[in-house]
A = this chain, B = another copy of it.
Amino acid sequence: MSILDGDHDVTAVRHAAPTLEMVAARAGVSRATVSRVVNGSDKVNPSSIEAVRQAIAELGYVPNRAARSLASAQSHAIALVVPEDITRFFGDVFFASIVAGLNDRLDQSDYVLNLMVASQDPGGKTERYLLGGAVDGAVVVSHHTSDHFLERIGDAIPLVFGGRPGLENIDTWVVDVDNEEGGAVAARRLVERGCTKIATITGPTDMQSALERTRGWKRVVEAAGLEPGPQVDGDFSMVGGALAMRELLDQYPDVDGVFVASDLMASGAMPVILESGRRIPEDVAVVGYDDSPAALACPVPLTTVLQPSEAMGRAMADILLDVLAGGERQRSTIMPIELVERESA
């Protein structure tokens, strides 16, 4: 009692956290017993459990994480590494739902998530953090190809990559979406509705995912006995999509179907099509990619390819947790995509 009645010092003095030792003293048991109760060991006498529980409640005891972590060599934390500009990252619904999925899975464990934005990272702070035992494992999400510093880290803690190839020769897992199949599904839709002049607006050519989507698109178009139309780089941005569309209409005026590799680009491209006097989908059918909010904000509701981003996040967390618990997991997990049918194609 005497320790707690400190109402008078609320604002100025921070309460010193009670320790396990204080709990032990109050409950009249050894520190080891308290530790056992806290960690849910089964070999404890019910009466002791009760006494400890009460002492914990009365004192408001919370285990010190650093001490626990030091003694057990586990942090019960995992890092979310984002080697990307943070505004871009958060602006992207794809990433947002991955994080939501991650978080959802983690909520059911006693692990916490640490956000590491490594875009600039002066002084290798991120690397030191990951190597310093602060986290038991890490999840890496980015569209870009792997950054170098991660190689050393995969050597020290398990790494799960999302949406892109992992590193070679070290302990890493990959959860990816089947981008090529995504491009293929989009193209198939166009082919099946009777388009014969099928072009595509692609993402940046230095992104693996963009390349794969294009490859899938091309495969299907060719398999249908058609001559693939132009591939114009739209840079994954809205204005990029508009510019690409303009260029496309110029050099390939009789285009009747286009696979736009992101909804954002599609939302930029559509007005250009409309302004040229063509109708969507009657004259030019459009299939997007992402099923982002942008798909609904388009002039014509966009038929698009849905990536299971939240499920990806959940899968990544699940794999990492499993591995940390000593389980075995497949190195590579490919998540299925699906077509969301709306009006543009």
Give A residues with C-beta under 8 Å from B.
10-11, 14-15, 17, 60, 62-67, 69-70, 75, 77, 80, 86-87, 90-91, 93, 95-97, 99-100, 103, 107-108, 110, 112-117, 120-123, 125, 128-129, 131-134, 152, 155-157, 169-171, 238, 267, 293, 297
The CA of A87 and the CA of B99, in the complex, are separated in Å by 8
Docked-complex contact B80 and A115, CB < 8 angstroms: yes
Docked-complex contact B99 and A125, CB < 8 angstroms: no
Docked-complex contact A113 and B112, CB < 8 angstroms: no
Q: Which residue of B lies closest to A122 (CB)?
A: B107
Q: Which residue of B lies closest to A120 (CB)?
A: B107
Q: Which residues does chain B contribute within 8 Å of A95, judged by CB atoms?
A: 90
Docked-complex contact A132 and B86, CB < 8 angstroms: no
A-B contact pairs, 29 of them (CB 8 A): A11-B169, A14-B157, A17-B156, A64-B70, A65-B66, A65-B129, A66-B66, A66-B67, A66-B134, A77-B134, A80-B115, A86-B96, A86-B99, A90-B95, A90-B96, A90-B100, A91-B93, A91-B96, A91-B293, A103-B117, A107-B117, A107-B120, A107-B121, A110-B123, A112-B114, A112-B125, A112-B129, A114-B114, A115-B115
Assess A62 versus B132: contact at CB under 8 Å? Given A17-B156, A80-B115, A86-B100: yes
Docked-complex contact B125 and A110, CB < 8 angstroms: yes
Assess A155 versus B10: contact at CB under 8 Å? Given A66-B75, A134-B66: yes
Q: Which residues does chain B contribute within 8 Å of A267, judged by CB atoms?
A: 297
Q: Which residues does chain B contribute within 8 Å of A66, judged by CB atoms?
A: 65-67, 69-70, 75, 133-134
Q: Which residues does chain B contribute within 8 Å of A69, judged by CB atoms?
A: 66
Assess A10 versus B170: contact at CB under 8 Å? Given A113-B114, A125-B112: yes
Q: Which residues does chain B contribute within 8 Å of A75, judged by CB atoms?
A: 65-66
Docked-complex contact B65 and A132, CB < 8 angstroms: yes
Q: Which residues does chain B contribute within 8 Å of A108, judged by CB atoms?
A: 122
Q: Which residues does chain B contribute within 8 Å of A134, judged by CB atoms?
A: 65-66, 77, 112
Interface centre among A63, A66, A238 (most CB of B within 10 A): A66
Distance of A150 from chain B, by nearest CB (Å): 14
The CA of A152 and the CA of B15, in the complex, are separated in Å by 10
Q: Which residue of B lies closest to A116 (CB)?
A: B112
Q: Which residues does chain B contribute within 8 Å of A70, judged by CB atoms?
A: 64, 66-67, 70
The CA of A101 and the CA of B156, in the complex, are separated in Å by 30
